[in-house]
Structure 1
Amino acid sequence: MTLLALGINHRTATVEVREQVAFSPTQLASALAELRALPEVHEAALLSTCNRTELYCVTGATGEREILDWLGRFHGLKVEDLMRCAYHYRENEAARHLMRVAVGLDSMVLGEPQILGQLKDAYQAARQARGLGGELECLFQNTFAVAKQVRTETGIGRNPVSVAYAAVSLASRIFGDFSRSRALLIGAGETIELVARHLHEAGVRQLTVANRTRERAEVISGPLGGEAITLDAIPEALVEADIVISSTAAPLPILGKGMVERALRKRRHRPVFMVDIAVPRDIEPEVGELADVFLYTVDDLQEVIEENRRHRQVAADQAESLIEHGVGNWQHERRIRSGGELIRDVRARGQAVRELSEQQALARLARGEDPEEVIRRLAHQLTNRLLHRPTVAMREAASQEHRDLLDAATTLLLDESNDHSR
């Protein structure tokens, strides 16, 4: 079995490609079920965010190609197109990659904290779908422990900067005085909640949150003195909005070019700053062609993000060191677990041999055979049955000059210093 991490992220694919391979929350359960049902996939977890789609699996020999074929079928994409922008890691590199993802070292915004929560959600979803076995369970637990240590012992989590913060920071370069600006936020997830908080802290006092359910929007807008509306009220709210930031899980765009054009006419063409953080996108790309709209996607936030990256590089180097230690701990636990499985298998075989010999001995006693002769025969059978396979293996190792196997046999079978039964 092989531990495999297969994915596409903001470094290997454009937002157009990423939105095609993203899994919506409603697709997640069925996707995990299909993935886990593949013949070569024995364990599976799926992480899908605006910047990455990654599959963590325990697979057989041909598992990678099988997963790629499935990913293409699920999203209606050509495997060749996926292969051009997909990356894969195996074994130790897969574990290292997951830990780097968890602490934000592989994020667009270095050290951003949201990814850890998203990864924990992916872990819970995989557990509910019965996609986790001993291998991935151990990996995720070690990963969460490393993430906690990095957050505690390094400065990477101080003054956390996220895509949400980067969006607000970019808006501040356009609007010198936020107190005069009205913001419309579309969605009610964690990212929008962060955007709302950052905007409020920056001085925005006129804030509207639009969501499919008004109740969820009120949870975000209420504490900040804002207004909550449903999605069908967006056209009216758009007329008053100077800042529009959207992040939903909707499969189709929420803001079209026609809707924005009508709002601009009513605004007398006052400019609007828009950021589309969603994947798939919430705002039609054609909106960016309008003269009075400044439209940005997550990929356009790179300048702000790079500035953040420079400030956090020292903490990132410390985190890399902790990750290496975490990978070592995972390897150690994996070896112990592997040894435990072998021990259980060996003892199970010994138990089966004992039970068979015992049944045969009891049957002979029931037939009235001499007890002393039955005991001698039992001892002889147990010796032959338990040592037959090791003896054949040692002869084969000797004929092939496999000294490592012969040395191991000597240690396991003849080293009396390890015999604690006396």
Structure 2
Amino acid sequence: MDVDSVLLQPADSNGDIDSLIMGFLALGINHQTASVAFREKVAFAPEHLADALQSIQQLASVNEVAILSTCNRTEIYCEITSDHEQSLLDWWADYQQLAPADIAGASYQYWDESAIQHMMRVASGLDSMVLGEPQILGQLKAAYVQAQEAGTVGSSLSRWFESTFATAKQVRSQTAIGESPVSVAYAAVALARQIFGDISQSQALLIGAGETIELVARHLSEAGIAGLTIANRTLANAELLANQFTQASSASLSNLPDLLPYADIVIASTASQLPVLGKGAVERALKLRKHRPIFMVDIAVPRDIEPQVGSLADVYLYTVDDLREVIEENLKNRQTAAVEAENLVLNGSAAFMSRMRELTAVEVLKQFRTKAELLSQEELAKARKKLANGADPEQVLARFAKAVTNKLLHGPSVQIKQAGAAGQLERVEWAKQLFELDQLTDKKS
């Protein structure tokens, strides 16, 4: 087989070499670009994530893909053919049954080094509603694991994620970005304390048993809450969490109507696709409470509490978007640390891209070596044939050496001549460095 036919296989049936140019893309929608209502529509339910990942990977332009979907952001990270993000936007709109223009209008995209920087900023909490919040790193790690389980990540995204985690670890260990207890969970508790003042006489009902609710329970316990009830669809998980706090008890979601009348504070964060608390149930609870107010925070996306509950006179209902002001009050001591963290992200992304470029160079070297070996093998076979036919060994060896030299240098020679004719002298100088011709000149002198 001809050597060039081995090394220059077409990218597809049309021989489109441009399709070989792959890039890193981070495509997303977050709390800065869309309302909680729209973020609900674009979010991926955990049980549908594997299907979504595999569906994306079937796109001709996508090589590897992972999805991060939280209450504040949904982001798709992938290795994709350069400038083919529109195919991904169209897929997203079709999958979620939304208008492509709506997705495009609320989304942002970062390519290559900017994409690397973005993921590192996300993992370090620099792009969060709560600056420096630590939960996002765990969520990003979970997204990576889910993509691995779905079989949609390979070496490229694995390097991206692992480098991101290493940089985020540096940010946590070398800056004060995470020293203050600031998070959505902390902000919810801080707002409850502002409304009630002393919460040592208050009862809290927490709906869900995930990481966010665990943080809420911890903050409430530290703030001196009188009592905690943790209600969850899976009672065993609620019991497991409640056992961590002396003043806590557990219950099933089916008991919510009976629990609501005793709750001064209700904070919800489940993975349910439908509200678990409706206006009717809250109205009944208010009557039994003789209209003593209830403070509610819905941290979930999609929402756990029907928005109409907020219209009730004796209910103070807040969503994650409403927590911004509370959060901002607790960010001042993180600003200097954020600057230091940004520098670490820039260094981390630059180092990652340098490694990727080095890997590209290594791949070129492998291809060059393969070509040289194939050329050598072709000429060696010819030489052996001539020797078997009784040709002079000295002449065979001389012709073998000359043939290998000529074939190996033919391509570079053509390129150097063309560069010189086109006035591209920097390429000619690069060729001199590449072949170490200055050293040859020095030896002659």
Tell me the TM-score normalized by structure 2: 0.90
Q: Which residue of 1 aligns with 2:172?
A: 151
Alignment of 1:125-274 (within 5 A): 125-225=146-246, 226-274=248-296
What's the secondary structure of 1:273's corresponding residue?
strand
- Which digits, 9 at most, give the CA deviation of each residue in 1:129-154, with x for residues without a partner? 33333433232222212211111111
Q: Which residue of 2 aligns with 1:394?
A: 416
Equivalent residue in structure 1 for 2:95, among 74, 90, 98:
74
Q: Which residue of 2 aligns with 1:298?
A: 320
Rounded to whole Å, the distance in 2 between the matches of 1:155 and 1:242 is 35
Equivalent residue in structure 2 for 1:21, among 31, 39, 42:
42
- Which digits, 9 at most, give the CA deviation of each residue in 1:282-340, with x for residues without a partner? 11100111111110000000111111222211111111122222222223212212211
**C-alpha displacement of 1:266:** 2.2
**C-alpha displacement of 1:199:** 0.8
Equivalent residue in structure 2 for 1:348, among 367, 370, 388:
370
Q: Which residue of 1 aligns with 2:297?
A: 275
The number of residue pairs the alignment matches comes to 418
Moved more, 259-268 or 15-24: 259-268
Q: Which amino acid aligns with 1:147?
A: A
Moved more, 372-381 or 176-185: 372-381
**C-alpha displacement of 1:388:** 1.8
- Which digits, 9 at most, give the CA deviation of each residue in 1:203-224, with x for residues without a partner? 1242111112111111211121
Equivalent residue in structure 1 for 2:407, among 344, 360, 385:
385
- Which digits, 9 at most, give the CA deviation of each residue in 1:8-46, with x for residues without a partner? 110110001111111111111111111122111122221
Rounded to whole Å, the distance in 2 between the matches of 1:217 and 1:416 is 74
Q: Which residue of 1 aligns with 2:344?
A: 322
Q: Does 1:118 align with 2:139?
A: yes
What's the secondary structure of 1:332's corresponding residue?
helix
**C-alpha displacement of 1:125:** 2.0
Q: Which amino acid aligns with 1:304?
A: V
Residues 110 and 308 in structure 1, CA contact (< 8 A), matched pair in contact too: no
Residues 182 and 331 in structure 2, CA contact (< 8 A), matched pair in contact too: no
Measured at CA, do residues 61 and 155 of structure 1 come closer, stay the same or move farther in structure 2, by a change above 3 Å?
closer
Equivalent residue in structure 2 for 1:54, among 69, 75, 83:
75
Equivalent residue in structure 1 for 2:381, among 331, 355, 359:
359
Residues 133 and 182 in structure 2, CA contact (< 8 A), matched pair in contact too: yes
Tell me the TM-score normalized by structure 1: 0.94
**C-alpha displacement of 1:49:** 0.8
Which stretches in structure 2 are left out of the alignment for 5+ residues?
1-21, 441-445
Residues 111 and 160 in structure 1, CA contact (< 8 A), matched pair in contact too: no
RMSD: 1.7
Rounded to whole Å, the distance in 2 between the matches of 1:301 and 1:212 is 26
